[in-house]
């Protein structure tokens, strides 16, 4: 049972790394970024490109996707901020298709694999059962990001600006905060976390151009269940979905994929504001 719970936390951790980026971007830009799954996929391919040195690949995935996020914000999200939400959804979906086509052109459609770093390739004995050390590393990364983001948002001036802008960007701008400049940082960080999630997930999953499609759907479910714009709610929802996904695959595999959707439906019906009920 402990091993299965840990496997659920591993998947929940990956979902959190994805979902918190969506929360950051939605908070400032109020954009449902459907290209986020493609950013996850690009991060995995960056890790594959540098598979000779996993740590270098993870660092480059974070930095390259951060730069892509800045470009997306300045070139796409900012010009579209006064447009209808449906236009934004179509544009971000188009970006997803472009990125998938670009990766397919460069790497082809074949499934790739990324080896875990030698330092984490073994197993750890937990209560008499062996558990892969790399999966413990994934848990450590997701929890470290959650703690780091929480400290940054609560105890730094920039974090205070981000929290204020996520609640009311107009009033925050009136108070003298450059929300456009802040948005570059936030969208860049959100994209970087998606890239990091892809790099971290690469040794666990098959790397392919379509790998981001499923996880981005569940990431949006996490955002809705946790509460739009809620960082703490996203973490709780990601851990819950991770357990539901893992135990569903084990015990009811034929219906496992429907459980997150059913939970989201229940939340939207009985608590539309999500678990957190607020935006920070």
**Cα distance between residue 5 and residue 38, in whole Å:** 28
**Cα distance between residue 32 and residue 2, in whole Å:** 35
**Per-residue pLDDT at 104:** 94
* Sequence-ordered strand ranges (E) for the chain: 123-126, 129-132
Q: Please list the ranges in the chain whose pLDDT falls under 70.
A: 277-280
pLDDT in tens, 5-22: 898 999 999 999 999 888
pLDDT in tens, 209-231: 989 887 888 888 998 888 877 78
- Map out the domains of the chain as residue ranges: 2-270
Residues in the chain: 280
**Per-residue pLDDT at 278:** 53
30 SS3 class: coil
H or E element, residue 41: helix 36-49
């Amino acid at each position: 049972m402990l091993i299965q719970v840990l496997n659920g936390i591993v998947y929940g951790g990956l979902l959190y790394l994805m979902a918190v980026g969506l929360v950051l971007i939605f908070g400032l830009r109020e954009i449902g970024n459907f290209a986020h799954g493609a950013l996850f996929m690009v991060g995995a391919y960056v890790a594959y490109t540098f598979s000779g040195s996993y740590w270098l690949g993870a660092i480059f995935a974070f930095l390259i996707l951060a730069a892509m996020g800045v470009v997306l914000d300045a070139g796409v999200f900012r010009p579209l901020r006064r447009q209808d939400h449906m236009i934004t959804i179509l544009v971000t979906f188009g970006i997803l298709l472009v990125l998938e086509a670009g990766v397919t052109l460069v790497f082809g459609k074949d499934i790739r694999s990324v080896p875990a770093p030698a330092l984490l390739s073994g197993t750890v004995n937990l209560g008499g059962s062996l558990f892969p050390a790399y999966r413990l590393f994934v848990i450590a990364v997701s929890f470290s990001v959650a703690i780091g983001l929480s400290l940054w948002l609560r105890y730094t001036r920039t974090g205070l600006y981000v929290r204020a802008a996520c609640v009311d960007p107009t009033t925050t701008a009136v108070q003298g905060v450059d929300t456009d400049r802040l948005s570059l940082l936030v969208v860049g960080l959100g994209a970087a976390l998606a890239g990091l999630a892809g790099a971290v997930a690469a040794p666990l999953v098959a790397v392919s151009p379509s790998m981001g499609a499923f996880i981005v759907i569940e990431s949006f479910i996490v955002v809705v269940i946790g509460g739009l714009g809620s960082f703490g709610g996203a973490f709780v929802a990601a851990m819950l979905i991770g357990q539901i996904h893992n135990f569903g695959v084990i015990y009811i595999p034929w219906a496992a994929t429907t459980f997150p959707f059913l939970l989201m439906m229940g939340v939207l019906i009985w608590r539309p504001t999500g678990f957190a009920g607020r935006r920070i």
